A and B are shown apart, each in its own frame.
Chain A
Amino acid sequence: MDFEIDPQAPEAIVRRDFVKRLTAAGAAALASGAPQMVYGDGLKHPEAKADACILLWMGGGMAAPDTFDPKRYAPFKNGMAVNDVLSTFPAIPTAVEGIEICEGLENIAKVMDRGTLIRSVVQPDLGSILHSRHQYHWHTGYVPPQTVACPHLGSWLARVLGRNNEVMPAFINIGQRLEGVGEKEELKAFTTAGFFGSEYGPMNLPFPEQAASVVRPPAGMSNQRFSNRDKLFRSLVQESSLKEYASDYQQESLLRSMDNAYRLLSSKEREAFDIGQEPPEVQAIYNTSRFGRGCLLARRLVENGARFVEVTTEYVPFLHWDTHANGHETVKRLHSEIDKPIAQLVLDLEQRKLLDRTLVIIASEFSRDAIVEGVPGSIAADQATHKVDRITEPKHYGLHRHFTGGTSVMMFGGGVKQGHLYGRTAEERPLVAVENPVTITDLHATIMTAMGVSPKTQFDIEGRPFYVTQDGKGKSVNAIFAS
């Protein structure tokens, strides 16, 4: 793109200093019953270890035994008992002695010394597995349904911390289509700022390679015309017969928002949305899939001040990590899609001296197992496509049940210990967390703590307190932080 910043771009219409511009977002939310943060001087927010967060989302249930928590390897053999399958990939060494992960993740293995691997995250038993319910829980900290629309993790950070950069949206969501996919309404239910209002909601970019078009003037509109149009708008507003309402809060917020939009559309930061500007050799490393390209986009956005970026392999029922059949082959493909981009993202951030202040998280709504649905003893219905005791075809080979008893979460940067392992699952089935189990609530508290937000942060909504971690009870797992 050759879009120049218009040297004659008018100043903000509502002349306010920079601080006010940002806090105005907060003021905006005060309108008409919008929730307010509860003030008090009892508790301090922890000191932030990171300024930005990238969540790499393995939508559909990433099987820990086939990725970050290898167990006894049982290669495919015609006639083998399903019961004998724990991992369908052999373990490989990593840069950290004593930590092994699955074959296929060789590049991530090389950067294992930059992060902490948690192997003991556990999910509640919801009686029946519906991916989007667990995803809702993971992303908001609350199990649906809820009486109020719960904000996404990214919206909490946007609301409490604000923007890292005045023109860059705080919360950007890459790779998930919200139309044309199954459970789309259930996905929308948590891909939202909820009661915070859309100022804090996600900017959705389902296709990373098309992201640049979102922050460009509409197709067919020249830059000259775009800036002329803006000038006309501003001059007409100045001339409007509604000048008498100049101090009206609604009018102010409208003009401020139009102003913010124009600033982004004419800023140099908008170039961050264009992954085509990366050197071809860099693009090649990331170009494994839509997810891979999303990682590259996430890196560019964080470099330019995005606060929270989520990149997903995309949740589509029965696709990608949602392996109800043919699990081994599917995961092999997914390994190749995620391995290089994730490792490169970590290295790129490190090289740009951003890794220390950026928390990168690899996570999924739950794990998978060849036998157990939910947790041992759960009443959840078995959803595997082929219910066989003996594996007679390759499509039977894989982890086809949803497992909530022990899940891996990988974290890099953002103040976490380097080359550290936390928690453990059993070596034999059931592969439940047997050491230091971490609930979603505590995981949230940990992420919030890294970002400098107290897990007890609360807002008053409809006369009731609403906390960033469920009921304010989240306890940060401080053992994973470097001192």
Chain B
Amino acid sequence: MLRFIAFLGLLAWPFAGQASAVDFAHQIVPILKTHCVECHGGEEAEGGFSLNTRELFLESDAALPRKAAESHFLQLIQSDDPDAMMPPADQPRVSDEQFALLSQWVNEGMRWEPGFSFGKPRYQPPFRPRRPELPHTTGNPQHPVDRWINHYLAEHQRPALEPASDSVFLRRVHLDLVGLMPTAEQAQAFLADTSPDKRTKLVDQLLADNLGYTEHWLTFWNDLLRNDYDGTGFITGGRTQISRWLYNALLANKPFDQMVRELIAPPNKESAGFINGIKWRGTVSAGQTLPIQFSQSVSQSFLGINMKCASCHDSFIARWTLKDAYGLAAIYSDQPLELHRCDKPTGQTAQASWLFPEIGQIDPQANKQERLQQLANLMVHPENGRVPRTIVNRLWGQLMGRGIVHPLDAMQTEPWYPELLDYLAADFQDNGYDLKRTIRLIATSQAYQSRSESVQQPDATVFEFQGPNAKRLTAEQFRDIVWQITQSAPSSLDAPIERGIVAPELAKELSFASSWIWGSTVDNGAPAAGEKVLLWRSFQLKKPIEKAVLVASVDNAYTLYFNGKKALSGDNWQQLQVTDLTKQVKASGENQIVIVAENQGSSPNLAAAFCALWLKHQDGSVERIATDDSWSSSLKIPPGSGKNKWQPKLAQLEAEPARVLDSSVWKNNIDPQIGPALVKVATGQAFPIRAALLKADDFMRTLGRPNRDQIVTSRPSELTTLEALSLSTNEKLMAELQQGAQLMLDLELPPNRLIDHIYLTVLTRYPTGQEKQLVASHIADQADVSSISDVMWALFMSPEFQMVR
């Protein structure tokens, strides 16, 4: 049926409006700056006329919005009278074209950039640290944040904040600090706990969960540092990850100043991906070369400065100039860097410099590594208050839903409470740039633990603090919680990291490169399809062991026998398999690994086998027995072999040395899996995979995970229709919910208790009587996977679940 409704132009336009022809920042400001501001701007107001702000402009009756013909300043510009004309007769004239633009601008109502002034900006953020004294205030609470907030509320004549309920706090603090939900049991225990300091204890307990903390905050840092496991640029080698470095930094709570140093002046390639940006093949505009990307990234991530305007032309709305942007870029540039204005060369060469010379400057003569080092030093200089303010503001924003300075990337904006920001930043700086300390400081405050406010108008120009703002679950949080509740997390991860809480030495031990072998047929090219080869090796233990873990992968299929017993088998070479053999390894005598490997397909194709037995001795030393040229191979497979005794049969075979193969395809796939697989088994830890460790799939993208091609520091706050559609029909999600429903049913609880349990698990609270009744009548007498998974879906989709209040 035809559904073209003719509301085009009616319906669409209320928000579309009509576009302006004149652009204040790019077209009007330059004219006024060239011809007028010298005498009528800044401190100057000749003839009593200042055009610093729109208000001043109008106050002096120099202009009438929408009436160019009656606007005095335009009449003066047009005047022929040498005594009256503006600019004065000895100055260059305003061109006809410029005059037309000014007239049009007036006729369009003299649109002005909000907050813009030709004079000094209204607010100049301090650069150096400030250490304000804690104020005295009603009740003088112990907690410094609450001292400030109470003082603030009193000053603004606002009522005291109301505390959030235990269950609201419980959910909020779990999601904010580790990105997961408390289990029903944890929820019950916390709700029942009557000790007065239970909230603080919980904060400490969650922050001590290094793995949970790391794998939740990884999302924030990946966004901030534009790091991902997949994305533009990787295809042509124009980009590298900092994943492993970042993961370990968070795991160890590496001081932020140290992180900044290692990101800006990378000691090795592990952390170099941040400053090296994304290189596209071919030519790119002057505003996106690697040095300019460096300038923009460093400014945005650490200083909360948007250098994007200034990397094309002097910013019209902030104090940053083309020279500033190129000065930073020149720190990174290998070659002399020519300034380009709006993509056109200017003939000037940039001199390496940074933005706040009051505490020191870059030596432009120094080499690149030294320049980067100097910049790193300036960024974490004790007199640099901007970097700490920028990061603590981001942490506040993460926990409270909105920064003390908003937006987070515009640190030149006036904070709603400068003293609070100064205090938090100084506390952070004076205590070793300890990220967890600041998070704890905020999370243990009454302010954080109070009821969230209901925001009716996002981005209202006047903001007053009235409690935390609700946050939407991130794509990663949503995936994690659903996986947590339904126990359906994926089994492998994409991040090239050693997962888990592992001592660095152990992590190193557990990560190694794979080595691949096959039989002698590879001497003549790719082995035939269907070819089977026997690969084996024997060994004796030198010392008693504490742990033995075996990993293996074969292209295409295999069965692996250890001491005559089947230990592993598989037919997907991309998935490394792992098993614990501690109990099977014989302390004395011969141990034997035998692989029956098979090539598949319809024509000759590459085939290879890899396995490694990782042995940890009781004295702490480590040994590895991996496929290499010491292995034997045979193309004859003894019939009926495998079930038990190999040894006698193998001895009768004509063995040839195995051939070692070299292919990056296998290595690229398998090597990153070795460390995580071993950690899981070797340390006895089996943590579900978290979404932050995975490449973004279509579903996560729909839920707002950004393409990390640019730095994006805030996630969408609202649910879109396409997301709702996905959430309503996504088959993967439905399968997960069914699995979760089965888990609920497996508990074999009476209907009443079952509903309690579902609510506690999904919403961290008990249902109300009315809710219980609604759910009960939905389930009716059919508590099965369908009905329970539908109840879970309804709760997962509820605003209460989708938002962190």
Contacts and interface: CB of A to CB of B under 8 A. Distances in A.
Contacts of B706: 149
Contacts of B698: 178-179, 204
A161 B309 contact: no
A250 B472 contact: yes
Interface in A281-299: none
A51 interface: yes
Contacts of A169: 721-722
Interface string A13-56: 00000010011011110111110011111111100100110000
Contact of B11 (A162, A178, A248, A257): A162
A145 interface: yes
A236 B722 contact: no
A185 B232 contact: yes
Given A44-B18, A239-B771, A250-B718, A215 B725 contact: yes
Given A147-B296, A248-B454, A258 B308 contact: no
A228 B723 contact: no
Given A37-B19, A232-B774, A248 B455 contact: yes
Q: Which of B18, B472, B778 has the most CB of A within 10 A?
A: B18
Contacts of B724: 257-258, 260-261
Interface stretch (A74-82, A359-367, A416-424, A457-465): A457-465
Given A165-B5, A219-B731, A239-B774, A185 B234 contact: yes
Contact of A241 (B734, B768, B786): B768
B701 to A, nearest CB: 8
Nearest to A43: B21
Given A147-B296, A201-B722, A127 B283 contact: yes
Interface stretch (B152-160, B185-193, B200-208, B793-801): B793-801
A457 B19 contact: yes
A265 interface: yes
A197 B472 CA distance: 15
Contact of A232 (B15, B281, B778): B778
A249 B455 contact: yes
B4 A26 contact: no
B747 interface: no
A217 to B, nearest CB: 7
Nearest to A20: B14
Nearest to B796: A233
Interface stretch (B456-464, B485-493, B505-513, B530-538): B456-464
Contacts of B459: 30-33
B793 A42 contact: no
Given A37-B15, A232-B778, A253-B718, A462 B707 contact: no
B107 to A, nearest CB: 7
B630 interface: no
Interface string B287-323: 1100001001000000000101101000001100000
Interface stretch (A92-100, A128-136, A437-445): A128-136
B801 to A, nearest CB: 10
A248 B718 contact: no
A448 B293 CA distance: 31
A40 B19 CA distance: 6
Interface in B54-83: none
A216 B12 CA distance: 28
Interface stretch (A3-11, A61-69, A186-194, A323-331): A186-194
A463 B319 CA distance: 13
A319 interface: no
A254 B720 CA distance: 7
Contacts of A336: none
Nearest to A268: B1
A141 interface: no
Contact of B15 (A27, A188, A216, A269): A27
A478 interface: no
Nearest to A457: B19
B470 A248 contact: yes
B790 A225 contact: yes
Contacts of B798: 233, 236-237, 240
A257 B718 CA distance: 9
A19 B707 CA distance: 32
A143 interface: yes
Given A149-B706, A215-B729, A199 B722 contact: yes
B407 interface: yes
Contacts of A130: 236, 280-282
B252 interface: no
B462 to A, nearest CB: 16
Interface in A223-252: 225, 228-229, 232-233, 235-237, 239-242, 244-245, 247-251
B235 A228 contact: no
B725 A265 contact: yes
A154 interface: no
A71 interface: no
A303 B793 contact: no
B261 to A, nearest CB: 26
Interface stretch (B125-133, B264-272, B708-716): B708-716
Contacts of A464: 25, 308-309
Interface in A85-105: none
Contacts of B723: 198, 257
A28 B25 CA distance: 26
B707 A51 contact: no
Contacts of B716: 31-32, 34, 197-198
B466 interface: no
A147 B288 contact: yes
Interface in B754-805: 765, 768, 770-771, 774-775, 778, 786, 790-791, 793-795, 797-800, 802-803, 805
Contacts of B287: 147
Interface string A381-406: 00000000000000000000000000
Nearest to A263: B721
A458 B454 CA distance: 31
A164 interface: yes
B103 to A, nearest CB: 11
Interface in B559-604: none
A182 B230 CA distance: 12
A248 B456 contact: yes
Contacts of B306: 462-463
Given A239-B774, A452-B9, A38 B19 contact: yes
Nearest to A147: B308
A451 to B, nearest CB: 10
A218 B737 CA distance: 12
Contact of B19 (A148, A248, A255, A454): A454
A236 B778 CA distance: 11
A339 interface: no
Contact of A41 (B109, B697, B728, B803): B109
A430 interface: no
B710 to A, nearest CB: 6
A114 interface: no
Contacts of B12: 22, 160-162
A145 B22 contact: no
A260 B722 CA distance: 9
B799 A357 contact: no
Q: Which of B728, B731, B791, B793 has the most CB of A within 10 A?
A: B728
> Closest 8 CB pairs between A and B?
A40-B20, A26-B15, A128-B282, A127-B283, A261-B724, A42-B21, A199-B720, A127-B282
Interface of A: 19, 22-23, 25-28, 30-34, 37-45, 48, 51-52, 125-130, 133, 143-149, 160-162, 164-165, 168-169, 178-179, 182-183, 185-186, 188-189, 192, 197-199, 201, 203-204, 213-221, 225, 228-229, 232-233, 235-237, 239-242, 244-245, 247-251, 253-255, 257-258, 260-262, 264-265, 268-269, 303-305, 352, 354, 357, 380, 452, 454, 456-458, 462-465, 472
17 contacts: A19-B14, A31-B718, A32-B717, A37-B19, A42-B108, A144-B280, A145-B278, A146-B288, A165-B3, A179-B698, A185-B230, A198-B702, A203-B722, A250-B803, A261-B728, A462-B308, A464-B308
